[in-house]
Every structure is written in C-alpha cells, then in structure tokens.
Structure 1
Amino acid sequence: MAHDHHQHDAGHRHGHDHDHSDLDWAEVAPLLEAQAELYAPLYRRAMDWLARDVPEPGLVVDVGSGPGVVSGLFAEAFPGARVVAVDGSGPLLERARDRAARLGVADRVGTLAGDLPGVLAELDYPADLMWASQSLHHLGDQRAALAALAGHLAPGGTLAVLEGGLPARFLPRDLGIGRPGLQARMHAVEEDSFAEMRASLPGSVAETEDWPAMLTAAGLKHTGTRSFLLDLPAPVSDEARAYVTTTLSRLRDRIGDGLDAVDRATLDRLLDPGDEAGVHRRQDVFVLVAHTVYTAVRPA
C-alpha cells in the first residue's frame, strides 16, 4: 500500500509530517493550505462521488481537518449541510474559521478542537457523512479508531476514509543528472519512515491495511472503493511548482539521511534555485497522484 506522506492532510493532513510533537502548526499552515488548494479538483471529484449515496447530509464532519480547505469544499458541495472541522491544532482551526468567513459560509462551518477520536463525543448530534482523510494512520489503533468514528454516525450515515492510493510523482524517471529512479528510491525510504512512525505511536497495533475489512469489523457495511487522480502535466503552474519544491525540500530534511550520497547530491541540485537542472527551472516537472477513498454505511 502506498502512502502519500508529505502532507498533514491537510487539506487534511495532506502533507503529513510524522513527528507532530515539535511542529509549529501556525508556521506549517500556509503549506498545508497551498497543497490542499492544489488538490481541490481531486477532492471535488470525490465529493461528487459521495453525493450519489449521500445527496443531502445534514451534518458533515471533517475528521483531521487541518486548516479547513476541504471543510470549505464540503460546505460548497453540500449547501444544505452543517460542516464541523475537527482537529487537534488550535492554530489550524483558527485558519479554518477564517477561511469559512472568507467563503461566506461561517454560519454553516463550525470547529471542534481536541484529540481524536475522543473529541468526537462533543458533537451535538451524529454525522450523516464523516470524512477522514489521511488522519487515521496517525492513531495507534486504527481498528479501534474506526469503531469510535462509526459510533458517531447517524443510522444510515456514511464514513469515507481516504488512505493509500499511489504516491505523488513529480519528476521523470531519468532526470539527466544522478542515477535514474530517484523518486522510486525516495518512496522506498518514505515507506520505512512511515513504518517507524506507525510503530512509535502510543498504543500502536500492527494492522493489515485492508480498509474494507477494517470498516466491516467496525460494524459498518462497506459500500464502495474508488481512486481519484490529480494529473497536472508539465509545464506546471507556479503554484504547483512551489508545491513540488517545498515538498522535496521537506523530504530532504526528513529522509535525506536515508539516501545514499549520490541521491542526496542529486536532490540538492534539484533544490538549488540557481541550477538549470533544478525544479525551480526545469520544464518537465509535473504532479501525478492517486488517492483512494473507502466508504461504509452504519446500518439503519
């Protein structure tokens, strides 16, 4: 199973940095917002798909909302719904409230701060649609977390879990510098880093990542699985190029020690604004990623 580990999500932890303990969320927030905005077409397609089974939800809960970009998209996609953005970071939820005000939906978008999944007990009433995007894998016992989320669904309510898919690709296999296949080797190091992160979580439970089976074990009925593609071909926009540059820079900081000297040198050239072969200048940079969404319904 592939993980897109560069996010906090978020939009949604869409940019999951795995050591959250020392992150300054106020500092990271602009990056999370920019990434979620870039991924907005993917999220909108996922919401169109969800709307086929949940056409008019009364309450949508965005679990692990980050700065609220996706919460705002839910408010747009379901104009009759109340949306609650749930996250453990106060600074990110402040940005979610500011975004809702700018979008003119502050009367329909609320926030709830606290640790997942326990904070969901503070919801005023059960959710008709609950969205958990790349947030569950930050909880030690994912199976128990799913059961907890399921307990806050209304009868007939839907839980949508975005996990896995295919990791983001930005670069050709052969860059013309270094050894071909740099991103594949970086992804391999990321997988090891992800496994270490999962093992270090409090109450960590090893789990076969069969999400339909896990949803069924949580007492829900699995109703669908679909992957959504973000395909931004070269030449990319300035916003996409900035996302690629920032993502690779953060990866250099986080997993650079896991690469060999040749790959580290290649990555350093890619991040050098003055290098013609770097991502700031080269014209073959692209963004290609697939995210998978699993849906399940609480029996009525």
Structure 2
Amino acid sequence: MDWLRGLLRIGGGPAPVHRVVDISSGPGVVTYLLARTFPDAEVVAADRSPGILEQVRSRAAAQGMADRIVIQLTYFRREFHALGSADLIWSRNGVHQMGDQQAALRSMVACLRPGGLLAICESGLPPRFLPRDIGMGRPGLQTRLDAAAEDAFGEMRGQLPGSAATVEDWPAMLADAGLIPSGTRSFFTDLPSPLGISAREYLHMHLTRLRDQIGDRLDLEDRATLEQLLDSDTSAGILGRPDAFYLTAATVHTARPCRSSV
C-alpha cells in the first residue's frame, strides 16, 4: 500500500485519490487496506459473489468504514463501465478470470481517471510449503501438485467465454492497453518452520481445495499421500508436521495514463 501511495505522488506531494475500485475484491481484506491507505477516498469492492460481498459489508461495518466502503455486484465481462471512474484501480488475480485478458485491461483503462494508476497483481511464485521428501509417498509431491494445478488452470482459461490466448507479459499488456508501465515489484511472504496454527490451518484449507480441484489428476499414490497430509489426527498431517513452512511471492504490475491524456 505504501508503494502504491508513493507511485501516486505528483511533484513531490500526494495526488488526490477520491475513488478506488478493488476488482475481484474477495472478502475485503485488501479493500480495507486500501480504505485505510487512502482516507479521503470512497472504496468500491467489486465481485461477482453476493455472499463474498456481504463479508465485505460486515468487515467494513466492524472497522467503522461502512460510510466509505461500498459493494458492487458485477460480472465484469459486460459491466466494467458500471464500476465508474477511479483514481486507483486494483485487481488481485482478477484479470486471469476473464477470457480476453487484454480486452479486460483496456476496459479497466477506460475507467481510469487522468493521473490515476492501475495496479494488477498477477503471476508471482506459487506457494512452497513442504520439503521435497516428506517421508511418505514419492518425493517431489509438491512439484506434481503444481503441475496438475497448472494444467487445470489452463483448462479453466480455455473454457472462459471469449477466451483468447496471450503472452502474459504484463508490462507489455499494460502498454498495449494504452498505459505507461510505472513499475513492477514482488512482495514475499516467508514463514519458516515451525509454523503457527493459523498458517497450518490455512495450508490445510489450501490442500483441501487442491484435493477437490485436481485430485482426479493425481495418481493413486499421490492421492493417498495428499489424504495423509489432510489427516488432522496424525503427526504426518499438515496440522502437525514440524517441517511445514510457507514461502510465496505476489507480483504487482502498475501503469498510468500517458502524459498527453492528463
């Protein structure tokens, strides 16, 4: 958030930020951070799940920001214009959910006010949380989980309405959308072993989701190993393993309108 705020500075002083849009907001964790970082702005949480948006509403009320954080149900592909204009548009893992990613970026640009900033959090590094050899099953389980998840992701992309293949060079894609790239940074999360209980519970949820999404892509041995990791009653499970850690990186790409449009 501090980095984004710094990118919005003009002539050594902060640029006015009156409206922020959080695309694919999820339950509103980043929405709240945006509202706290830009205290004079209305922040719009846009998502396609009514249930998720109710979580945003509850979080905003609990944080005393119900008057500044608004929710907007949108399906994006047809309704970018309904989001209205903004000084800052943020999207974390939202563009890859749209069939034509380049067209989606152009639609976001159309909502960006002169002097504003578009920040896209895509790519980065997938989480690593297990050593190569975990003492059960074949070594290298996590690499095979990553490969199966990548195949499933590719199939998901291919089934999206209007799906179009593109080279995912995000700075080049932002430039092709009519913006000037203004910086890319990766932000690391590094939690060494032994993990606390909240991180272990997160990993249990992550592995449960993987089992449900790609379990049928794994061979019988890997599926059995995954079930052992999800067993909450043994020390071999992810909730009790002393060797579990968490390491990942999120990469944010930013761009702003050409000077001639300001």
- Cα displacement (A) at 1:105: 1.0
Give 2:76's aligned residue.
116
Please provide the CA RMSD for this pair: 1.2
Contact 2:194 / 2:242 at 8 angstroms: preserved in 1? yes
TM-score relative to the length of structure 1: 0.82
- Cα displacement (A) at 1:117: 4.4
Deviations along 1:64-99, whole A, 9 cap, x unmatched? Answer: 111211101111122222111011111111111111
Amino acid at match of 1:74: L
Give 2:185's aligned residue.
226
Q: Quick check: 57-66 or 109-118, which moved more?
A: 109-118
Secondary structure of the residue aligned to 1:266 is helix
TM-score relative to the length of structure 2: 0.93
Give 1:270's aligned residue.
229
Are residues 1:81 and 2:35 paired?
A: no
Give 1:64's aligned residue.
24
Secondary structure of the residue aligned to 1:291 is strand
Q: Quick check: 211-220 or 254-263, which moved more?
A: 254-263
Secondary structure of the residue aligned to 2:201 is helix
Runs of 4 or more, structure 1, over 4 Å off, are: none
Give 1:216's aligned residue.
175
State how far apart, in whole Å, the 1-side matches of 2:192 and 2:2 are: 23
How many residues end up aligned between the 2 structures?
253
State how far apart, in whole Å, the 2-side matches of 1:118 and 1:201 are: 14
Amino acid at match of 2:44: V
- Cα displacement (A) at 1:275: 2.3
Amino acid at match of 1:221: I
Trace 1:75-154 onto structure 2 (pairs within 5 A). Answer: 75-124=35-84, 126-154=85-113
- Cα displacement (A) at 1:232: 1.4
Deviations along 1:214-252, whole A, 9 cap, x unmatched? Answer: 111111111111111011111212111111001101111
Amino acid at match of 1:212: P
Contact 1:63 / 1:87 at 8 angstroms: preserved in 2? yes
Contact 1:63 / 1:85 at 8 angstroms: preserved in 2? yes
Give 1:21's aligned residue.
none
Deviations along 1:178-202, whole A, 9 cap, x unmatched? Answer: 1211101110111111110000111
Give 2:5's aligned residue.
51
Deviations along 1:147-179, whole A, 9 cap, x unmatched? Answer: 000000001110000001100111111111112
Give 2:155's aligned residue.
196
Secondary structure of the residue aligned to 1:164 is coil
Where do 5+ consecutive residues of structure 1 fail to align? 1-46
Are residues 1:245 and 2:204 paired?
A: yes
